[in-house]
Amino acid sequence: MTNIGVDQVMTVTGPIDPSELGVTLMHEHLYIDLFKISGRYDAAGMIDDDDLIAEEVSLFKAEGGRSIVELTLPGIGRAPERLKAISERTGVQIVMGSGWYREPYYPAEDRIDRRTVDDIATELIDEIENGWRDTGIRPGVIGEIGIDKNWVSAQEERVLRACGRAQVATGLYLNTHAVRGGGLAQLAVLLEEGVDLSRVVIGHADSYPLLDYHLGILDAGATVAFDNIGDPRLHEGRVLRLLLDLLERGFREQIVLSHDVCYDHSLTAYGGKGYVYLQREFIPKLIEAGVGEDTVQVMTVDNPRRLITRRGRSTRIPR
């Protein structure tokens, strides 16, 4: 059992020095399947094709990309060993997520409704310290921890508290999933658990491009994720204007960028924007709008490195 020290970064192939992270996509999916839950009509999910995914990841590398944070969780298709294989095959470093996604997708066998917050937290801390089951593959982030709607359900609150306690115990950063304004409610719970909000990323903040919502998150010290870049359901002009406004207000150290690829039609092979739209098209638009290269570097390299690098004490749980 290798101990990951504080100030280290954990990838699916083992610990690396934070300086090796380079250009990092902060919220992507290589394997994901939300289709299997009855009574829901969200068809997010991607074809189970290792060769195709390796090709798509290699395109990102060809654009200068070095690392991908993969936030698929158990219950929606997390595949630790396949992530490791893709990483070895492509040379792109992959940071794996951990925790529970949102209530409809909690695996029944995890019995979230019947366990204490501390019991759930202990399970997560054990995985962070010792790896997923007997694979030895360890997560490098807690997330994406979601809410299904824009409020926190009772079970989701239990999970969020447990993840907050695991964050405090391990020093990993925590990435949420929040659409239509749910991020502030998540922050309130995490704050009660003693989480340092500078270690929290509110996911999908660009799905709710209202200035006050973003300022609320930023003023609390958390990071906003513009992680649906390239999604045709987004009004890109509006998102771009908000991003430029936040940069002008001096928040560049609290912004990260990604695509959240989670559909076949998101892949370049299916006519989508893949893991490359940021590098190929969106960043050039930022530059054209007057954003400096240094600011791009802060959002795509420095902020990911600061967040992914483990901080605080390491709690070892012997098995």
Nearer to Zn ion, 168 or 179 (CB): 179
Nearer to Zn ion, 71 or 92 (CB): 71
Q: H-helix or E-strand containing 168?
A: helix 154-170
Structure tokens at 12: 């699916």
Q: Note whether 70 binds Zn ion by CB under 5 A.
A: no
Q: Taking CB under 5 A as the criterion, which residues in 71-110 touch Zn ion? A: 71
* HEC string for 120-135: HHHHHHHHHHHCCCCC
Shortest Cβ distance from residue 229 to Zn ion (Å)?
13
Nearer to Zn ion, 71 or 178 (CB): 71
Shortest Cβ distance from residue 293 to Zn ion (Å)?
28
Shortest Cβ distance from residue 232 to Zn ion (Å)?
16
List, as one string, the DSSP characters of 177-245. Answer: E--TTTHHHHHHHHHHTT--GGGEEETTGGGS--HHHHHHHHHTT-EEEE--TT-TTS-HHHHHHHHHH
Shortest Cβ distance from residue 37 to Zn ion (Å)?
16
Q: Note whether 260 binds Zn ion by CB under 5 A.
A: yes
Shortest Cβ distance from residue 80 to Zn ion (Å)?
17
Shortest Cβ distance from residue 118 to Zn ion (Å)?
27
Q: Which residue is nearest to Zn ion (CB)?
A: 260
Shortest Cβ distance from residue 144 to Zn ion (Å)?
5
Nearer to Zn ion, 169 or 272 (CB): 272
Q: How far apart are the first and last CA of the chain?
A: 10
Nearer to Zn ion, 122 or 175 (CB): 175
Which among 16-24, 64-72, 112-120, 290-298 is the span making contact with Zn ion, rule CB under 5 A? 64-72
Nearer to Zn ion, 82 or 115 (CB): 82
| Residues whose CB is less than 8 angstroms from the CB of residue 249 and which lie 6 or more positions away in sequence, other chains included | none
Size of the site for Zn ion (CB under 5 A): 2
Residue 300 phi/psi, 5-degree rounding, is: -105, -15
Q: Note whether 129 binds Zn ion by CB under 5 A.
A: no
Structure tokens at 203: 């996911």
Four-point Cα dihedral 277, 283, 285, 290, nearest 10? 170
| Residues whose CB is less than 8 angstroms from the CB of residue 219 and which lie 6 or more positions away in sequence, other chains included | none
Angle formed by the axes of helices 154-170 and 183-192, to 10°? 60
Cα–Cα distance between 202 and 186 in angstroms, integer? 8
Residues near Zn ion (CB under 5 A) are 71, 260
